[in-house]
Amino acid sequence: MEFLINSAYAAEGTAASGWGSFVIFLPLILIMYFMMIRPQQKRQKEHQALVASLSKGDEVVTSGGILGKVIDIDDNFIQLKISSNGEMKIQRHAVHAVMPKGTFKG
């Protein structure tokens, strides 16, 4: 029975180690924030600025890889000229990048 009493005394000491594990996990949470969450938020803000700055005549690439020239802009949609006689309507947030002028020859 004495071995049961010793384990009870040992169990009392584990309550104080709760703060120790919190102190260990706090730097891990901070590292995860600065390595994963913050860069993603920065990319999201850059993409929102890109979408907000679109204008007629911009040459863009969509997230699906379609290259085209913006011919009409709405609040939610963009109309792209993708070939000499082809047009496509896409959502604004589907624009991945703005290309330099002269990239699209269509």
pTM: 0.70
- CATH class (in words) of the domain with range 55-99: mainly beta
Question: Which of 75, 67, 71 minimizes the C-alpha distance to 98?
Answer: 67
Per-residue pLDDT at 80 exceeds 60: yes
Mean pLDDT confidence for 11-20: 60
* % of the chain surpassing 70 pLDDT: 84
Structural domain boundaries in the chain = 16-53, 55-99
Q: What rounded mean pLDDT belongs to the chain?
A: 86
Per-residue pLDDT at 61 exceeds 90: yes
Per-residue confidence band for 60, with pLDDT thresholds at 50, 70 and 90: very high
Q: Comparing 89 with 9, which gets the higher pLDDT?
A: 89
